[in-house]
Chain A
Amino acid sequence: MSCHEATAVLDPPEVDLTPVPPGTAPKLRTVALIGPPNCGKSTLFNRLTGLRQKTANYPGVTVDHHSGRMKAIGRNDLTLIDLPGIYSLSTYSEDARVAVDVLTGKMPGVPKPDCVLLVLDSTHLNRQLMLAAPVFSIGLPTLVLLNMSDQLDSHGGKIDTLALAKELGHPVALISAAHGKGLDVIPDFLYRAGARLDDGLRPVQLPILQSAASCRSWATQVTSRTNYQSPQASLWSRRLDSVLLHRVIGPLIFLAVVFAVFQVVFTIGQPLSEGLGDVLTNLGAHVANLLPDNWLRALLRDGLWNGVQSVLVFLPQILLLFLFIGILEDSGYLARAALIADRVMRAIGLNGKAFIPLLSAYACAVPAIMATRTIENKRERLATILIAPFMTCSARLPIYTLIIAAFIPNRMFLGHLIGLRAMVMLGLYFIGFMAALVTARLLNSRVMKAANAPFILELPQYRWPTVQSLGLRLYDRGKLFLKKAGTIILACTLIVWVLSVVPVHVTHQQVAATATTAATTTTSVVTFSDLGNSAVGHLGHFIEPVIRPLGFNWKIGIGLLSSIVAREVIVGTLGTLYGVDPATHSEGLQTALRHDMTLGGAIALVVFFAFAMQCTSTLAVVRRETNSWKWPILQFSYMTVVAYTAALLTNIVITHLF
């Protein structure tokens, strides 16, 4: 009879997910989801919780904490905690330490789980079962879910789940998280665990498993006793590899893929971002017209709305990049790309996995830094995060094009093949890349001296990416970006805006004076004197002695300060500054700059921008991804010092030459 109870768990009838009425299991509150990397754990997590999940960092570590109510299976009363993907509970890695702390209830702020869902990839059970013994030893009710049952079936593998459940002393079920099959065992198990029903399985005395080798031999014994047959290797995956990793064709396809990603992000993402920016500007202007003209409107439009806008315009490019990275990763090609790129990346002390993030950084460092999550090694991930902002992102292009158009003659070389302006532009891309390279080497010899992390890369079988998983990924990353980076960018934008209008009493007097005459007020328009007399203006004058050696005047200084929010802001600021100056206001910005700056100063300015960390979004994301202020502050200081030195040298050399 007890045996029959077990089979009810193991072999559920093919019915839809029947919700268990809440309240029947009052004791159960928290469920932990654990499994090795690439076992399909995240897919299952999404299946069980739907889109209502919370992402945060565990205190003091860079490991993400995902949790959500198990709404999708009708158990809104239960919180599912997604633990990091780990191979074992040995505390070699930060991830494993977090998992152990959560499972044993030692993680501050996280309730001790009442039961565990252990997800294992059924196609590699010998290896995956190594995690089972240490998880069982924690002593929580555990349901073993053998995922990817569809692949096990279609490639001729098999397993006796009932025998396995008896061997393990815990209920076992075959599921397919990707196709949503077999998941109805989960509410059943939760009901039983909550009601403390006997699952009919006798507890099994597990051997004490200290080393990986003993875990492994135990796993092999268990699988051989339960008639486990691993599936055949997919032939077409191998055939595809013989093309995609071919000595000649492989790198060519690789370059084509890289080029295509680049091209699409620029040709579709850039106009989308600009279009969105225009729409948002118009929307802000329309709404602002409906509001009374006072300081509140200025705060809302110039402070808050501009901040919102500066965050939102990044979204199209970020989502596009993540769509591509998602397709590459889910299909299995990303691992092959890493294998191909490894040789080149090794030369700068990084590994192949850093290639895609660094490539993404040419569009925008923000998604690039978020994409470094595919690099498991923490130190290499950190190095990649630290050098990514040196890649020439699209936000640098407005100031580059402005200065080049204003100062570089449109001269052609080699029979109209190469233009001087294009060469200068390419040169700016090149120096950014070189700075990244040198920095990586420096980090390699200093920070990461002791690391010496090996490159170990699992090559998954090729798979079609599913729309659901891509959609979820975009949703997740988009939300993460808007929530975390958004709040910090918003705060910084507001601070800069406030600094650009204080001291407030000046603005107030203007309002009082004009309100009586009912004329249009000037408070919302940033006038020259306002900016010059504002805190930012004073700062501009204050830092002028520091930036004068670079060939910059105080207006450029204000531009530099305002561009700390985002690089492209400098063009707008300079436009405002020169536009309202009586001496230059009839001239275009290019002409005005030509009259106000030397060639040395102008080139020094773009060189400064090539190296400087003028981007609060990036700083915010670095803060988020490293979970500390130390790295963004260090990065900002380092890049500013490099930028200052390079700009100073540029100004001196060019002034002497011409």
Chain B
Amino acid sequence: MQATALSDAKIGTTGTVDSIDLPEEISHYLAHLGFLPGIRFEVLRHAPAGDPRVYRIDGVEVGLRNETARHIFVSSDKKAAA
């Protein structure tokens, strides 16, 4: 268990969301998509240009830019290198 930014987790990483450090309006929207502490995630793929990336959260696929994912902190199951 190691807290990292979601944007740093490699493709294929699974784990749990720890905390979200974003303005309330954005974190509120993200929360309703499943980005809440304790919810499982998986890094699925990235867009052809590398950014945004697609995450599987709570059974739903969500695309996020790295600039947003940088403020979501997660615990990876395996020790993923930053």
Contacts and interface: CB of A to CB of B under 8 A. Distances in A.
B45 A242 contact: yes
B81 to A, nearest CB: 22
Nearest to A213: B36
B37 to A, nearest CB: 7
Size range of the chain B interface in the assembly? 20 to 34
Contacts of B25: 92
A455 B51 CA distance: 11
B65 interface: yes
A158 interface: no
Interface in A332-385: 335, 338-340, 342-344, 346
Interface string A220-237: 000000000011010000
B62 A456 contact: yes
B58 interface: yes
A74 interface: no
A436 B44 CA distance: 34
Interface string B25-46: 1101111111011010000110
Contacts of B33: 87, 127, 456, 458
A246 B62 CA distance: 17
Interface size bracket, A side: 35 or more
Contact of A458 (B22, B60, B68): B60
A558 B48 CA distance: 50
B21 interface: no
Contacts of A339: 47, 52, 54, 63
Interface in A203-255: 212-213, 216, 230-231, 233, 238, 241-242, 245-248, 250-251
A90 B28 contact: yes
B36 A251 contact: no
A458 B58 contact: no
A273 to B, nearest CB: 35
A339 B39 CA distance: 24
Contacts of B56: 233
Contacts of A342: 47, 49, 51-52, 63, 65
A457 interface: yes
B48 A455 contact: no
A251 B50 CA distance: 12
A346 B68 CA distance: 13
Given A92-B28, A456-B62, A458-B61, A241 B45 contact: yes
Interface in A372-405: none
B59 interface: yes
Given A233-B56, A454-B67, A245 B62 contact: no
B80 interface: no
A455 B68 contact: yes
A456 B30 contact: yes
Contacts of B54: 241, 245, 339, 459
Given A212-B32, A212-B36, A127 B60 contact: yes
A559 B34 CA distance: 57
Contact of A87 (B29, B64, B67): B29
Interface string A449-486: 00000111111000000000000000000000000000
Contacts of A455: 52, 63-65, 68
Contacts of B60: 124, 127, 458-459
Given A127-B60, A456-B26, A458-B60, 4 more contacts: A230-B59, A241-B44, A246-B48, A251-B48
Interface of A: 36, 87-88, 90, 92, 123-124, 126-127, 130, 212-213, 216, 230-231, 233, 238, 241-242, 245-248, 250-251, 335, 338-340, 342-344, 346, 454-459
29 contacts: A36-B32, A92-B24, A92-B29, A126-B34, A127-B32, A127-B58, A127-B59, A130-B32, A212-B32, A213-B31, A213-B36, A241-B45, A248-B48, A339-B47, A339-B54, A339-B63, A340-B49, A342-B65, A343-B50, A346-B65, A454-B65, A455-B65, A455-B68, A456-B29, A456-B33, A457-B63, A458-B61, A459-B60, A459-B62
Interface of B: 22, 24-26, 28-34, 36-37, 39, 44-45, 47-52, 54, 56, 58-65, 67-68
Closest 8 interchain pairs by CB? Answer: A212-B31, A87-B32, A343-B49, A457-B63, A459-B61, A454-B68, A250-B48, A339-B47
